[in-house]
């Protein structure tokens, strides 16, 4: 058997207490606890959080895991209900969206969010755009192309909308928001689709999954000017899933697999490294699609979804460096 010194080029250090900032792969012997320890990766996992106050699906989300926003959706009717998550529980905001709707898109932060598009009562599609300041929603200029099932990325003052359905057809149209109005980008998605997920910022966005004419795993990267198809597709082709993170560290979870039936809901979780997707061994506890999402690849939030409408909330913790005790096997 190879010795540690021949592999790492150093002896195992004997210490009275664990190092304050160990490096990945470092091994040491703790003489106080008489244990051999090392720095490795802990397992990724989903944990159950407190439920939304309003069960719903086809809602939007914004923010991070400890400061998230849920808004819009459908339960027994279209809703504009808005809730804030503090990392522990959801609180209703008495001021909802001005345009109640479902299947809308959202981006930004809990105190500076952007909601746009969707389906509204009496209208198969809407381009309505609203800005949230942490207390109320204010109506802004609408999308140039009214649609639902839109992918989103960016911030309240630099948002991105792509894909969706114009009841019909399905589109790859891309628009950029500057904090006041939307501008069309003549270069749309290479694969037009609806139910597409997104993450990142306006100048470095990621689009993945969707539907046209069946569920797809197609992944595209946006550089602020045009879309480039990534060589890596989702391992599980699906649509209407949750998305979080950045262009080089994305997260996809939940969604609907073809055929379009409730039994086709997925709990699968995948991570993107800027080139390819890797399926995580940790799946969501509740398989669902049309869910809301927020956060990063390391710390994400999934909430709501269905149908039927659910209020279930789950918190994702990605694999991260951690100190482990090494035992003989």
Kindly state whether residue 322 falls inside one of the protein's structural domains. no
Contact 251, 276 (CB under 8 A): no
Q: What average pLDDT does the segment 27-53 reach?
A: 91
Identify which of 72, 46, 37 has the alpha carbon closest to the alpha carbon of residue 58: 72
Kindly state whether residue 323 falls inside one of the protein's structural domains. no
Q: What average pLDDT does the segment 31-55 reach?
A: 91
Q: Are residues 9 and 56 in the same domain?
A: no
Q: Say what the pLDDT of residue 325 is.
A: 85
Using CA atoms in the order 277, 318, 322, 201, what is the torsion angle rounded to 10 degrees?
80
SS3 244: strand
Q: What average pLDDT does the segment 72-92 reach?
A: 97
Rounded to a whole number, what is the largest CA-CA distance in the chain?
A: 72
Q: Say what the pLDDT of residue 41 is.
A: 72
Q: What average pLDDT does the segment 285-292 reach?
A: 96
- Going by pLDDT thresholds of 50, 70 and 90, the confidence category of residue 2 is low
Q: What average pLDDT does the segment 91-104 reach?
A: 97
d(CA 165, CA 225): 22
Contact 170, 194 (CB under 8 A): yes
Kindly state whether residue 9 falls inside one of the protein's structural domains. yes
Kindly state whether residue 327 falls inside one of the protein's structural domains. no
Contact 229, 220 (CB under 8 A): yes
- Condensed to tens digits (0 to 9), the pLDDT of residues 117-152 reads 999 999 899 999 999 999 999 999 999 999 999 999
**According to the 3-state scheme, what is the secondary structure of 147-203?**
CECCEEEECCCCEEEECCECCCCECCCEEEECCCCEEEECCCCCCCCECCEEEEECC
Q: Are residues 80 and 229 in the same domain?
A: yes
Kindly state whether residue 176 falls inside one of the protein's structural domains. yes
Contacts of 305 (CB under 8 A, 6+ apart): 57, 254, 286, 288, 289, 290, 291, 292, 312
Pairing mode, strands 321-326 and 182-185: unpaired
Identify which of 186, 202, 208, 178 has the alpha carbon closest to the alpha carbon of residue 270: 208
Q: Say what the pLDDT of residue 9 is.
A: 45
Q: Say what the pLDDT of residue 3 is.
A: 54
Structural domain span for residue 186? 50-317
Q: Say what the pLDDT of residue 312 is.
A: 98
Q: What average pLDDT does the segment 146-172 reach?
A: 97
Task: Give percent above pLDDT 90 in the chain.
Answer: 84
299-to-152, 223, 272 alpha-carbon distances in Å: 19, 24, 14
Identify which of 16, 44, 21, 43 has the alpha carbon closest to the alpha carbon of residue 31: 16
Report DSSP letters for 76-136, one per residue: SSB---EEEE-SS-EEEES---SS--BS-EEEEETTEEEEE--BBTTBS----EEEE-SS-
Q: What average pLDDT does the segment 312-316 reach?
A: 98
Q: Are residues 12 and 98 in the same domain?
A: no
Q: Say what the pLDDT of residue 23 is.
A: 83
Q: Are residues 105 and 23 in the same domain?
A: no
Using CA atoms in the order 293, 297, 298, 301, what is the torsion angle rounded to 10 degrees?
10
Using CA atoms in the order 40, 247, 203, 230, what is the torsion angle rounded to 10 degrees?
140
What is the average pLDDT score of the chain? 93
Q: Say what the pLDDT of residue 15 is.
A: 93
d(CA 48, CA 71): 20
Which is more confident, 26 or 260?
26
Q: Are residues 54 and 158 in the same domain?
A: yes
Task: Give percent above pLDDT 70 in the chain.
Answer: 95
- Going by pLDDT thresholds of 50, 70 and 90, the confidence category of residue 190 is very high
Q: What average pLDDT does the segment 62-88 reach?
A: 97
- Condensed to tens digits (0 to 9), the pLDDT of residues 221-252 reads 999 999 999 999 999 999 999 999 999 999 99
Q: Are residues 35 and 111 in the same domain?
A: no
Provide the residue count of the chain: 329
- Condensed to tens digits (0 to 9), the pLDDT of residues 168-187 reads 899 999 999 999 999 999 99
- Condensed to tens digits (0 to 9), the pLDDT of residues 254-270 reads 999 976 544 589 999 99
Strand (E) or helix (H) holding 5: helix 4-8
- Going by pLDDT thresholds of 50, 70 and 90, the confidence category of residue 59 is very high
Into how many domains does the chain fold? 2
Q: Are residues 114 and 201 in the same domain?
A: yes
Q: Are residues 32 and 175 in the same domain?
A: no
């Amino acid at each position: 058997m190879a010795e540690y010194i021949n592999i790492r080029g150093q002896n195992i250090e004997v210490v009275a207490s664990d190092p304050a900032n160990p490096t990945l792969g470092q091994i040491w012997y703790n003489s106080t606890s008489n244990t051999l320890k090392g720095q490795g990766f802990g397992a990724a996992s989903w944990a159950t959080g407190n439920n939304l106050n309003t069960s719903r699906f086809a809602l939007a989300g914004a923010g991070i895991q400890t400061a998230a926003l849920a808004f819009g959706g459908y339960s027994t009717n279209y809703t504009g209900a808005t809730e804030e998550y503090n990392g522990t529980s959801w609180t209703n905001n008495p001021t909802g969206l001005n345009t109640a709707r479902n299947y809308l898109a959202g981006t930004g932060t809990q105190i500076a969010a952007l909601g746009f598009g969707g389906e509204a009562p009496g209208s198969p599609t809407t381009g309505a755009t609203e800005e949230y300041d942490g207390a109320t929603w204010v109506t802004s200029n609408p999308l140039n192309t009214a649609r639902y099932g839109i992918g989103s990325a960016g911030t309240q003052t630099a948002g991105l909308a792509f894909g969706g359905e114009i009841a019909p057809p399905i589109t790859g149209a891309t628009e950029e928001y500057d904090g006041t109005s939307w501008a069309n980008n003549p270069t749309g998605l290479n694969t037009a689709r609806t139910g597409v997920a997104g993450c990142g910022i306006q100048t470095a966005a990621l689009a993945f999954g969707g539907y046209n004419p069946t569920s797809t795993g197609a992944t595209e990267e946006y550089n602020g000017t045009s879309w480039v198809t990534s060589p890596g597709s989702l391992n599980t082709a699906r649509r209407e899933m949750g998305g979080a993170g950045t262009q080089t560290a994305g997260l996809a979870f939940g969604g609907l697999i073809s055929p379009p039936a409730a039994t086709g809901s997925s709990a699968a979780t995948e991570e993107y490294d800027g080139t390819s997707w890797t399926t995580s061994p940790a799946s969501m506890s509740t398989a669902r699609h049309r869910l809301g999402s927020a956060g990063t690849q390391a710390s994400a939030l999934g909430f709501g979804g269905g149908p039927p409408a659910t209020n279930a909330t789950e918190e994702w913790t990605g694999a991260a460096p951690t100190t482990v005790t090494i035992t003989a096997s």
